[in-house]
Amino acid sequence: MDPYEIKIKNYLKMGEILQGWARNADTVPATVGDFRAQVPSNVAELADEFKDEDPLQIFNAPDQKVVSIMLPHPDDLDLPPPSPYTLPDFYDEAYNATLVTPPEEEHNFRSKRIADYALRKCV
């Protein structure tokens, strides 16, 4: 597992947890240990490189009336895209198909994903 990745094992349950944090700021974890205490390992996990005392940075999207753009971290742009990039299983379930990006389209698909996620509030 990538040391900076949150590996999601149950997208539905993780989405419900995130919605709970968005609705109640008092429940938002402040450290990796808090995250691990609130999120069961069968829902999502952080790499072992993160220590329980490490801070966790979580922020709310701005108000709908504010134009927001979330840029990727520059270091992430230097990493090769995962190849082939496959969408999470819940897309396959929703569309009753296996969606796989052809290797020759990886670069273009990654650029399109960055544009989509950076400029739209994907909720």
pTM for the predicted model, two decimal places: 0.78
> Which segments of the chain does DSSP mark as H helices, in order?
11-23, 32-38, 74-77, 89-95, 106-119
Split at pLDDT 50, 70, 90, the class of 113 is confident
Whether the pLDDT of residue 13 is over 70: the answer is: yes
| In contact, 16 and 40? CB cutoff 8 Å | no
Residues 32-84: pLDDT tens digits?
A: 999 999 999 999 999 989 999 999 988 888 888 888 888 888 887 877 666 56
